[in-house]
Amino acid sequence: MTYTRETIEQFLIGKVLRWIGILFFFLITAFPFYYMVLLSFRSIQNLLTDPGNLMPDWSLVASMETYINIMKPVSQGGQGFYTFILNSLMVATIATALTLIIAILAAFAATRLDFRGKGLINWGILLVYLVPAIVLAIPLFVIFSKLGFRATVERRLFGLIIVYLSSTLPVALYMLRSYFQTIPTALEEAALIDGTTRLGTIWRIIIPLSVPAIASTGLYVFMIAWNEFLYALLFLLEERDAWTLSLGVAQLNTQEVPKTMLMAGSVVITVPIIILFFFFERFLTQGLTAGAVKG
Amino acid sequence: MSAVTTPQPKRPREEGGLTLAQRDARLAYALLAVPVLIVLAVVIFPLLWNILLSFQSLRLIDLRNLNLFSFTPTLDNYRRVLSSRGFMELLRTTLIYATFGTILPILMGLAAALLARDAFPGRSIWRGFMLFPYIAPIVAVAFVWRIMLNAQFGIVNEWMVDLFGAQRISFLSQRTIDLGMPGLHEFPLALSMVIFFQGWRYFPFSFLFFLARLQALPDNLYEAAEVDGASLTERFWFITMPQLRGVMGTLILLRFIWTFNKFDDIFLLTGGAAGTEIITVKIYDWLFGRSDVGAAAALSIILALILIVLLMIYFRWFFQEDEA
């Protein structure tokens, strides 16, 4: 065997460097999540005296004490995470459902119907997509205060849903539209001739054929709403009962709350997303690239 | 939903004598009215109104008796924002953050995609892990980083002390560090950390794009080069890289826009302290720290203008290069 440039490169880059790289990327992505779970199962005293320890305190794993503490309502000395989970679930689910319904109908109109001003839709999507959240944050904050959307818990959450709806609509419409364009129209034409209405074809033909695209769009919207922080901070801060999970976790970062609880809160907000991801990885990966998820 | 399950007999001409095309157009407008109205009310109207706010003297406590359109226009907000101490530094930090916060995730994404291109045992699980930083909620990952980098009990300091006997460092609250090399005596520490965070959190996005492109490249491109005796590194520079140019251009554009407008990451990691204050965090500070709605609006308009100018430069440069 001769040592040509090719064989040396093959060995160094193709084998050695490649495996080092694979290991490196695995460690940097997996370790922070391991560390997060680990700290949620240790006591704060233990963390301060022995920071380098990479094993959990098994008695805390068994008792789930840190988690029970953050779940309990404030009146019982807890952090009220139970309420935050319900708020987040409600906001994200309603925002996702509304976005999907409106976007499916709009994407149908944009791909199957002829009307004046069709070209404007593309520009509208692009324009809205590129508007920075922070630029909208100030006027929305002012308008919502003025309209009383910051008066009660329900109104605050309603305002938040509207904002999530409007910020995810353009990309949901974009994703569904590109998928609908790939469905051949022959089936719908046949159904129209058989007497189905235009709207009937959406329910009976387009939706059943687009389940994967609808799933990726829905997951994407849900994820955005579940993870969102800035608007939650602006609209909900003064009303603890209205907090979503991301705001609740952020508010754990104070001197009084042990960092182990902060990590337990982080685990609580992350786990549902990771579970969704494992169940729907294929859809989610498609959604991430197709919609070029903003983040 | 039961209404749609009963098929109705289709008549060629509906009541009012509308043609099929006219009815289609009507249906389209009806279906599009909802999203268009929502976008007008929650995006376009606020956007335009923000411009008005920026010419208005308005503080948080005035919100209750605010009159939407009657006010005396003033340039005070812009004057106050532009002449405030440290505005140039704010601009500089924002540009450094946005530039390196764009480059680092793209380079890391490219590296990860090249690693994942050919199969290896456990690749699909590995690929799943690669997406974790990106799909996890920002609050969770920002706080894990804060704790990992903590000076007292953070794991990074613990390892550094154990392995190198180094001094403990507060990575996220120390402005500069002396790296003991010429030119690196005042290396920006906290700013580098938030840029590393950008690299870690957003490389999966570039990874997915690069991987999709790489796996679509035809094998015969490489076979020919191999016959001609091109080495591994040569094949990378002269075959793979040119094929990735388009993806690269898109990624630079998207990532720069998003990083430039990003608020959450720095707000949660450092709160804008230790030389990491960027325009978006400053806007929040004007709004709630100083209760100055007008100045916050003015700064957000400045942010949008800077972005528009940078995009115009980018597009000119991009298209010129294409023509050359």
Number of domain units in chain B: 1
Q: Does a structural domain hold residue B324?
A: no
Tokens 């508010």 belong to residue: A251
Which of B202, B245, B217, B19 is CA-nearest to residue B106?
A: B202
Q: Give the CATH number, domain containing residue B285.
A: 1.10.3720.10
Q: Does a structural domain hold residue B28?
A: no
A101 and A162, same domain (yes or no): yes
Q: Does a structural domain hold residue A185?
A: yes
CA distance linking residue A242 with residue B121, whole number of Å: 46
For an interface test with B, which of A120, A138, A204, A231 has the most B Cβ atoms less than 10 Å from its Cβ? A138
Helix axes A259-279, A18-40, angle to 10 degrees: 120
A42 and A135, same domain (yes or no): no
A111 and A256, same domain (yes or no): yes
Among the ranges given (A47-61, A216-230, B92-106), the one the predictor scored with the smallest mean pLDDT? A47-61
Q: Does position A231 have pLDDT exceeding 90, yes or no?
A: yes
* B-chain residues near A21 (CB < 8 A): 111-112, 115
A224 and A126, same domain (yes or no): yes
A53 and A115, same domain (yes or no): no
User: What does chain B come to in residues?
Assistant: 324
Those of residues 196-215 in A touching chain B at CB distance below 8 A are 196-200, 203-204
* B-chain residues near A249 (CB < 8 A): 137, 139-140, 143
Q: Does a structural domain hold residue A150?
A: yes
Q: Does a structural domain hold residue B171?
A: yes
A45 and A130, same domain (yes or no): no
* B-chain residues near A10 (CB < 8 A): 232
Q: Is A198 helix (H, G, I), strand (E, B) or coil?
A: helix
Which residue in chain A has the smallest CA separation from B267?
A230
Tokens 């009962």 belong to residue: A241
A223 touches chain B (CB under 8 A): yes
CA distance linking residue A267 with residue A271, whole number of Å: 6
Of residues A47, A102, A294, nearest to B34 (C-beta): A102
A31 and A65, same domain (yes or no): yes
Among the ranges given (A137-146, A213-222, A281-290), the one the predictor scored with the smallest mean pLDDT? A281-290
pLDDT of amino acid B246? 87
Q: Does a structural domain hold residue A295?
A: no
List own/partner pairs for A283-286 with CB under 8 A and 24 or more apart.
A283/A212, A283/A215, A283/A216, A283/A219, A284/A216, A284/A219, A284/A220, A284/A223, A284/B131, A284/B135, A285/B131, A285/B208, A286/A212, A286/A213, A286/A216
Q: Does a structural domain hold residue A165?
A: yes
CA distance linking residue B253 with residue B228, whole number of Å: 36
A63 and A101, same domain (yes or no): no
| Residues of chain B scoring pLDDT < 50 | 1-6, 13-14, 324
A96 and A55, same domain (yes or no): no
Predicted-complex ipTM score: 0.90
pLDDT of amino acid A240? 92
| A257 DSSP 8-state letter | S
Average pLDDT over residues A49-64: 87
**Inter-chain contact B43–A269, Cβ cutoff 8 Å?**
no
Residues A87-117: tens digit of each pLDDT: 999 999 999 999 999 999 999 998 888 888 8
Q: Give the CATH number, domain containing residue A159.
A: 1.10.3720.10
Those of residues 244-263 in A touching chain B at CB distance below 8 A are 245-246, 249-250, 253, 259, 262-263
**Inter-chain contact A138–B111, Cβ cutoff 8 Å?**
no
Which DSSP string do the residues of A118-165 spell out, in sequence order?
Answer: HHHHHHHHHHHHHS-HHHHHHHHHHHHHHTTTTSSHHHHHHHHHHHHH
pLDDT of amino acid B69? 66
pLDDT of amino acid A120? 81
Q: For residue A108, give its domain range.
A: 79-290
pLDDT of amino acid A293? 47
A225 and A242, same domain (yes or no): yes
* B-chain residues near A29 (CB < 8 A): 129-130, 132-133
* B-chain residues near A140 (CB < 8 A): 42, 46
Adjacent-strand bridge partners of B59: B292
Number of domain units in chain A: 2
- The full 3-state SS of chain B, as one line of letters, equals CHHHHCCCCCCCCCCCCCCHHHHHHHHHHHHHHHHHHHHHHHHHHHHHHHHHHHCCCCEHHHHHHCCCCCCCCCCHHHHHHHHCCCHHHHHHHHHHHHHHHHHHHHHHHHHHHHHHCCCCCCHHHHHHHHHHHHHCCHHHHHHHHHHHCCCCCCHHHHHHHHHHCCCCCCCCCCCEECCCCCCCCCEEHHHHHHHHHHHHHHHHHHHHHHHHHHHHCCCHHHHHHHHCCCCHHHHHHHHHHHHCHHHHHHHHHHHHHHHHCCCHHHHHHCCCCCCCCCHHHHHHHHHHHCCEHHHHHHHHHHHHHHHHHHHHHHHHHHHHHHHC
Q: For residue B209, give its domain range.
A: 89-291
pLDDT of amino acid B3? 45
Q: How far is CA A57 from CA A38, A97, A244, A265, B133, in A?
A: 8, 41, 29, 18, 26
CA distance linking residue A162 with residue A148, whole number of Å: 14
A105 and A222, same domain (yes or no): yes
Distance from CA of B148 to the nearest CA of A (A): 8
For an interface test with B, which of A4, A9, A28, A29 has the most B Cβ atoms less than 10 Å from its Cβ? A29
pLDDT of amino acid A96? 97
| A18 DSSP 8-state letter | H
* B-chain residues near A285 (CB < 8 A): 131, 208
Contacts of B286 (CB under 8 A, 6+ apart): B81, B292, B295, B296, B299
B254 touches chain A (CB under 8 A): yes
| A240 DSSP 8-state letter | G
Q: A262, A253 in Cβ contact below 8 A?
A: yes
Tokens 């139970």 belong to residue: A82
Among the ranges given (A276-280, A283-287, B147-151, B175-179), the one the predictor scored with the smallest mean pLDDT? A283-287
Contacts of B202 (CB under 8 A, 6+ apart): A295, B101, B105, B109, B133, B134, B255, B259
Residues A150-164: tens digit of each pLDDT: 888 999 999 999 999
A25 and A164, same domain (yes or no): no
Adjacent-strand bridge partners of B176: B188
**Inter-chain contact B35–A102, Cβ cutoff 8 Å?**
yes
**Confidence label for A136 from pLDDT (cuts 50, 70 and 90):** very high
Average pLDDT over residues A130-146: 88
Q: Does a structural domain hold residue B178?
A: yes
Which residue in chain A has the smallest CA separation from B111?
A21
B143 touches chain A (CB under 8 A): yes
Average pLDDT over residues A26-51: 93
